[in-house]
Amino acid sequence: MARSQKSARTAEPLGDFTENIVDIDVTSEMEGSFLEYAYSVIYSRALPDARDGLKPVQRRILYMMSDMGLRPDRGHVKSARVVGEVMGKLHPHGDTAIYDAMVRMAQDFSLRLPLIDGHGNFGSLDDGPAAPRYTEARLAAAALTMTDHLDEDVVDFVPNYDNQLTQPDVLPAAFPNLLVNGTTGIAVGMATNMPPHNLVEVIAAARHLIANPGATLDDIMRFIPGPDLPTGGRIVGLDGIRDAYATGRGSFKTRAKVEVEQLSARRTGLVVTELPYMVGPEKVIEKIKDAVNAKKLTGISDVVDLTDRNHGLRLVIELKNGFNPNAVLQQLYRYSPMEDSFGINNVTLVDGQPQTLGLLQLLQVYVEHRLTVVRRRTSFRLGKKKDRLHLVEGLLIAIVDIDEVIQIIRSSDEASAARERLMSIYDLTEIQANYILELRLRQLTKYSRLELEKEQDELRREIEALEAILASDELLRDLVSGELAVVAEKYGTPRRTVLLESEAVSPTVAAALAASTPGPKGKAAALPLEIPDDPCWALLSTSGQIARTSNQEPLAEAGPRAKHDVFRSVVKTTARGEIGAVTSQGRMLRLQVMDMPVLPPMSGLPNLAGGVPAKDFITLVKGETLVAFVPLDAILAIGTVQGIVKRVQPDYPLNREDWEIIALKDKDSVLAVEPAQEDDVDLVFVTRQAQLLRFSASIVRPQGRTAGGMAGIKLAAGDEVIHFGTVRANDPAAVVVTIAGTNGALPGTAPGTAKVTAFEEYPAKGRATGGVRVHRFLKGEDTLLLAWAGHGPAKASSAAGVARALPHEHGRRDGSGVPLSQPVEAIGPSMAWPDAAE
């Protein structure tokens, strides 16, 4: 009951209350309110000014930090303090918006030239920053050029939100910040999105425009060919950039920087070191995994992020065996953020109005702004110099008779009387008289007539120079251009982003695309994803490097040689085939050719320096070495150090990866393995004591893989085999090469003698005999350092990697050799090894 009575009393109108209801049209009210909101967003939040390239919140942050004295040579302060100062004095909005703007100006992956020096966690491309109470900040060195000379009347100041303080309407901006750092913002009904550019290039273009006001867009683009993104990467296709520079709107594609690397002996991968602008590695990994799970991407086994502070971004995409790395990369560009598109929309405020400007117009607006700033600064300095000169001239008049001046002041009843008497007696102005009256006696000690006259002359020269600048547009432009050059020299850095007119295609990709079947419209088909089973060569060098070629082109017979270019084994195979690898302990391992590293297309001798060491590719026990590559479908001839020979049948197990192909005796090891499918080839042994034995392969019957072989050459005490091989019977070009030396000399120190003899000079002997003499030792020689028999002519490779022909000495199979001028490190044929391997 009490509650109802109270409600009734409250509902009663006051005695003097007059009801007045105003009818408002909702449509007009909504239109007006929305226009006010849109105007506020466009002009006070989202769009940058074309002159300094800053939004209001960014400008207020820089100005307040400058006003707080947060210079680069002073300590950092808490970000929360900066945010509070900005919010309380200049920007009455949320602290989150202020801190976000502050964080972006400190991120080196967002801005090409950061304006704030942040200390602490200011975020990454994948994670946000720490709270403002945990981070610290101060102005970066480059930001000082944005706020310099604000105390010299270079820009207009406007009231803040409560009319108690003032703030600059625009910053002086000693470099074109809008182009250098770019910007992004979403207003109402419009948006802006501008990429960063290189400071040196932009300033060079601005200086050219200053010197040549009538420059065209083509002239400017000679200095600014395209954006320069903070994270590097590659820009593919420049047509969109040209459109954007001309009209203010356009787009371009950015791609990650990717290299194909051999991650291990058997595994190839794509290594990403640069990503498109504003794309983080975690986002890339997530999209790749999603595409793999959705079966859009194939051939990828794992993605590992090895990014660290010391080495920067390193994203390793491991590939499955049998997949073409370049084809997988094309898929990654299609289904992951490793290729991204950037849309340029140059919407900025010019004289308070939003406009879409091209590159030339943006530079023109900045140049005019900078000319105005320097002109106003010069006028301000001229006024200061003139005021000081006026005071110095008055002081010079008074200091000539300073005693009388003091007497006039002492004898005057008040300051106004003293001022009038000084003005009348010495013909001074009121300003000069007041300055003299305000001087303290102790200041008179530092004044002398000579010093004042010197200052007067200096002031007059400075005034003359300042007046000349104001009177000459050419001098003003030269001054602005010179200041820009200083900024570029001090803060400029090399270009990071590579500009490509079209997609760069490697020679391997180009060859694959050229060989692909044309599409329905005559275009080449896409690069095959899986590696085709194309013919190739499997190569093994004398230094233990293994690799395969990308095709089966004939190996070059001549050309410059490099390290690892002396081939021990050359096997004809296919990319998806299998070959055998024979070790010194008589084991054979099954190798997948696809797992071998691929050499680039050959334009001469293949360079096996691009291969991998055999010990990284196959598992070898202690003391075991890789002897040769062999085909798995041919009868093989095996020779050992102790002179054992064996021909083995290719009945290898299909369910094992390694097996024994010869049962070796103690202290014996496999020296060489050669295909010996036909019976019309000769088997050749050469020993360290210069004995050579040749006999027909037909007298060595093929055996099973577990057999121990049979006697090949009879060795003298202390002798051993240093060469075993096969030579086609009745080959007129076959030769025997031997190099003699001293057993006690260090390898490569004694040149010794070399000899090349026709193979037909050596008669065939029976198996298990001692053979014939192949080289007569000279004084000081007691051993063969190297020996080789096969299709010739032969060449020796010196330590410098230069192949040199060896001298022939036909008709004296047991004669001595010709002295070498320098040591050699290996012997190999100059031609027809592939034919011999067949």
Q: What is the pLDDT of residues 597-619, one digit of tens each?
A: 887 765 556 667 667 888 878 88
Model pLDDT for residues 209-238, shown as the tens digit of each residue = 999 999 999 999 999 999 999 999 999 989
Tell me the one-letter amino acid at 26. Answer: V
Mean pLDDT (whole number) for 432-440 = 88
Tell me the one-letter amino acid at 567. Answer: F
pLDDT at 83 over 90: yes
- Which positions are annotated as active-site residues? 134
Contact partners, residue 80, CB within 8 Å, separation at least 6: 132, 133
Model pLDDT for residues 108-136, shown as the tens digit of each residue = 999 999 999 999 999 999 999 999 999 99
Confidence at residue 15, expressed as pLDDT on a 0 to 100 scale: 63
Q: Name the least confident of 31-45, 647-661, 711-725.
A: 31-45
**Main-chain dihedrals φ then ψ at residue 296, nearest 5 degrees:** -80, -35
CB atoms within 10 A of CB 353: 9
CB 121, CB 130: distance < 8 Å: yes
**What is residue 496's three-state secondary structure?**
coil
Percent of the chain with pLDDT over 90: 53
Confidence at residue 18, expressed as pLDDT on a 0 to 100 scale: 78
pLDDT at 343 over 60: yes
Residue for token digits 């009734």?
A: 8
CB atoms within 10 A of CB 48: 24
**What is residue 123's three-state secondary structure?**
coil
Mean pLDDT (whole number) for 698-726 = 91
Tell me the one-letter amino acid at 58. Answer: Q
Mean pLDDT (whole number) for 773-783 = 87
Report residue 749's pLDDT band, with 50, 70 and 90 as the boundaries. low
Q: What angle do CA 727, 729, 732 make, to 5 degrees?
A: 90
Structural Rg of the chain based on CA atoms: 43
Confidence at residue 833, expressed as pLDDT on a 0 to 100 scale: 39
Model pLDDT for residues 285-308, shown as the tens digit of each residue = 999 999 999 989 988 999 999 988
User: Helices 359-400 and 449-471 sit at what angle, rounded to 10 degrees?
Assistant: 150
Q: Which residue blocks in 229-302 are alpha helix, DSSP H? A: 239-247, 281-293
For residues 480, 482, 486, 492, the Cα torsion angle rounded to the nearest 10 degrees is: 80
User: Which DSSP helix (H) or strand (E) runs through 454?
Assistant: helix 449-471
Model pLDDT for residues 571-587, shown as the tens digit of each residue = 999 888 899 999 999 99
CB 335, CB 529: distance < 8 Å: no
CATH T-level fold of 636-838: Neuraminidase (2.120.10)
pLDDT at 17 over 60: yes
pLDDT at 450 over 80: yes
Candidates 206, 237, 239; CA nearest to 224 is: 206
Confidence at residue 522, expressed as pLDDT on a 0 to 100 scale: 41
Q: Strand 702-703 and strand 644-648: pairing?
A: parallel
Q: What is the mean pLDDT of the chain?
A: 85
Domain-wise residue ranges, the chain:
41-173, 533-633, 636-838
d(CA 476, CA 19): 68
Residue for token digits 């303080």?
A: 165
Report residue 802's pLDDT band, with 50, 70 and 90 as the boundaries. low
Q: Which residues of 128-165 are buried (b: 16+ CB within 10 A; e: fewer)?
A: ebeebeebbbbbbebbebbbbbbebebbeeeeeeeeee
Confidence at residue 575, expressed as pLDDT on a 0 to 100 scale: 85
Report residue 829's pLDDT band, with 50, 70 and 90 as the boundaries. very low
d(CA 597, CA 604): 18
Residue for token digits 């007009």?
A: 28
CB atoms within 10 A of CB 253: 17
d(CA 589, CA 585): 12
Mean pLDDT (whole number) for 249-277 = 90
pLDDT at 805 over 90: no
Mean pLDDT (whole number) for 95-101 = 94
Model pLDDT for residues 522-568, shown as the tens digit of each residue = 444 456 777 788 888 898 888 888 888 877 776 665 555 666 667 88
Candidates 694, 687, 835; CA nearest to 758 is: 694
Q: Strand 257-262 and strand 249-255: pairing?
A: unpaired
Mean pLDDT (whole number) for 175-198 = 91
Mean pLDDT (whole number) for 333-358 = 93
Given CATH 2.60.40.10, say whether it is the number of domain 41-173. Answer: no
